[in-house]
Amino acid sequence: MRRPRRPTGWPRLRLVSLGTTFAVSFAAVTAAVTLLIGLLSYSAAARLVRVDQETVFDEVVQDLRDEVRGTAMAPEDFSSAAPGHDIVRPARTDVQVLGADGSVVDGGNPGLPVVAADRRIAAAATAGEMALHKDVDVGSDVYRVATVALGGGRGAVQVAQEFSDTEDLLRALQQRTLVLMAAVVTAAGLFGWWLARRITHRLVILTAAAEDVARTRRLGVQVPVTGQDEVGRLGRAFDRMLGRLAQSEEDQRRLVQDAGHELRTPLTSLRTNISLLRRIDELPPDTRDELVADLTQEARELTDLVNELVDLAAGQSDTEPPRALDLADLAEEVAAAVRRRTGRRIVVRASGDTTTDGRPQMLQRALSNLVENATKFDREGREPVEIAVKGPARPGVVRVEVLDRGPGIAETDLTRIFDRFYRAADARSLPGSGLGLSIVREVALSHGGAPFAVRREGGGTVIGFTVGGGF
């Protein structure tokens, strides 16, 4: 089923940098929080102001009702010229006095509208009756008006409080709140942009280094990233990764060069002997047999060399899952296999706890290489080859040793026998490629251990490796 094609007129989403994303996100979160707090603060303040104004107005009206109920009063008592009644005229409060017929006896400032309900209250017989009017427009202002009856049909008093000033104040507060919110959001955006640049600056350096490696394929690049946070750790991990990749590349290059050098010798010998095959009919029978034996031996050595190269390359892979195993049991299996193949006496000695976590095939290959190496160099075979598996000298570490009574290894060669293709001078006449001990080293290192080789007291060599310590 074909996917519908996007119309060409649709805009493409452009990728933005991490710094921009961080700055925008920081500003967006700040804007949302500021907006929420601003709205809640404004709503609370407006409610408090309105409630306060209404409370003041209600108290003034209630005082007036209590006064007219307690004392029979006439419209003249509330005249603006009459002393003692300014108490009903607080700030932003307007008072207007009505006669019995609802006419204005003493006008307010400004004058308040008089409607039928107000005239009815003015003629009311009961003192304290009230008519309340909300949102009364007086000129350009808005008032709240309460008309209170004096009783006995003597008239009424109108008390009005201006609310438009309060709303103007609240609108000014709202505008200032919006301006302040905009300033906070702008400042948050600028701060977020600065903070994002500061945080992502090292990521930019790390990205540039990665792009440079991808473009030039040069792994020897130093990553100038500092700090103890996650970015610093990432930079150091990337630097170590590049170092290991560079080392791996160098090892591969050196392996190819060394392998090419080692392969030339048997291949040259094979080509020489193959050229002699063209004149095999002219050769004496003994020479023919010697030629065939040489070809067989060279093919075998070439096969062993190729197999060891494959083992060396595959030995570094982690495809074989580690599991718990007993190295003493593994040594017994290796000893039995070498006995059948060579007929030599192989003795296994184990002490302590020899269990560990490892990859069985890799460890078996390493141990087989050591035992076969010992049988090859100890050609007389007067004493058995010994395999010693020793329990942990320190927690989790098992030591494996192979002891022989061969000619031993010179002190100058002890530090180099684990190098690839290295062969001591007295071993170059013997078959082999110089890769067996290299495989032992790779297996030991991949299991958190290390190889070792020492001269054995009384003659011979002790070669082995340790396993454990985490891998």
Q: Which residues contact 46 (CB under 8 A, 6 or more apart)?
A: 170, 173
Q: Where are the alpha helices (DSSP H) in 278-359?
A: 285-314, 327-342
Encode pLDDT of 51-103 as tens digits: 777 787 888 888 888 888 888 888 887 876 665 554 445 556 788 888 888 88
Which residues contact residue 15 at a Cβ distance below 8 angstroms, ignoring those fewer than 6 apart? none
The pTM of the full predicted model, rounded to 2 decimals, is 0.44
23-61 pLDDT, tens digit each? 777 778 877 887 788 788 777 777 777 777 778 788 888
**135 φ/ψ sector (left φ>0, alpha ψ -120 to 50, else beta):** left
Report pLDDT digits (tens) over 19-31: 677 777 777 887 7
Q: Which residues of 228-263 are buried (b: 16+ CB within 10 A; e: fewer)?
A: eeebeebbeebbeebeeeeeeeeeeeebeebbeebe
**pLDDT surpassing 80 at residue 183:** yes
Tell me the two tokens of residue 432.
């082999």
Average pLDDT of every residue of the chain: 77
Pairing of strands 346-351, 385-390: parallel
pLDDT of 11: 45
Task: Report the Cα–Cα distance between both ends of the chain, in Å, rounded.
Answer: 49
- Confidence (pLDDT) at 79: 74
- Cβ distance 460 to 378 under 8 Å? yes
For residue 439, what pLDDT band results from cuts at 50, 70 and 90?
A: confident
Spatial separation of the C-alpha atoms in residues 435 and 421, rounded to whole Å: 5
- Three-class SS of 122-187: HCCCCCCCEEEEEEEEECCEEEEEEEEECCCCCCEEEEEEECHHHHHHHHHHHHHHHHHHHHHHHH
Measured at the CA of 364, the angle between CA 403 and CA 457, to 5 degrees, comes to: 10
Structure tokens at 187: 């400042």
- The proportion of the chain whose per-residue pLDDT surpasses 70, expressed as a percent, equals 79
Top-confidence range, 162-166, 207-211, 418-422: 207-211
| pLDDT higher than threshold 70 for residue 331 | yes
Residue 231: pLDDT above 50? yes
Residues 452-467: tens digit of each pLDDT: 988 888 788 899 999 9
Distance between CA atoms of residues 388 and 197, nearest Å: 61
